[in-house]
Structure 1
């Protein structure tokens, strides 16, 4: 699957149903029928929506961990805590389970944001705060993460 693109403001209804933005739904069309995995994010108070093929690829990596090492076993348990298989219904809605709504503190207004091969689902206020918090360090972070290789420089 190619990279997903876009950030969209949406609403969830009282039952926790999210209508996927049409632009995201179009991008997910090739994998829509396979279903998705919805889980808690590791580093942020948001949810991550994995197309099933992406989830299975990730689980192949996780499955290589030696489960007889306590830290690996603890990681697997925490990483998969609250994981749910979800499907998009015929009208394009996705039901967010109540425990995951509570984890991400999702109210009515949310942000659906692409993150390369997955989608993040945020409470709108928490998303805005996370973006604001990261603004100051982003230049340094970009240099540290992406600016390490100078292989193309001619000296």
Structure 2
């Protein structure tokens, strides 16, 4: 029985390392902020610049469902085939720590904002030829507006004039 227990130790360690936080590389985990209430989400949506302030968050969530095969959006979510998108707005392209970007994206010289993401989502390969994203794009401008509004609300973006929600 002792041999069975000792044999199980490497298996347990391996499974633990492959768990949902296995990609953290030993980095300390920060405590996730409390989830926004529906009222706070509506307030944040209204504070976004046009046209995103008129976005349909439910449609944005539905459209983003296509992206979930490759991307996560939670604060401590893992990278998958694509990088986690939490905090993407305001981040320089190709600079999420520990994600293996294509050389094209790693050397791109732009910061992710709504306009860049809109052009990217419309036609990723046309926007930045040589990137490794296989998604063909979202041709519908309303769907792009809605998914960008959804991402702004769900990935930690706060307008510069915004104050933290009251506790």
Q: Fold match, TM over 0.5?
A: no
In our comparison, the structure showing a higher alpha carbon Rg is 2
How does the TM-score come out when normalised to structure 1? 0.23
How does the TM-score come out when normalised to structure 2? 0.22
Greater strand share, 1 or 2?
A: 1
Larger relative contact order (CA 8 Å, sep ≥ 6): 1
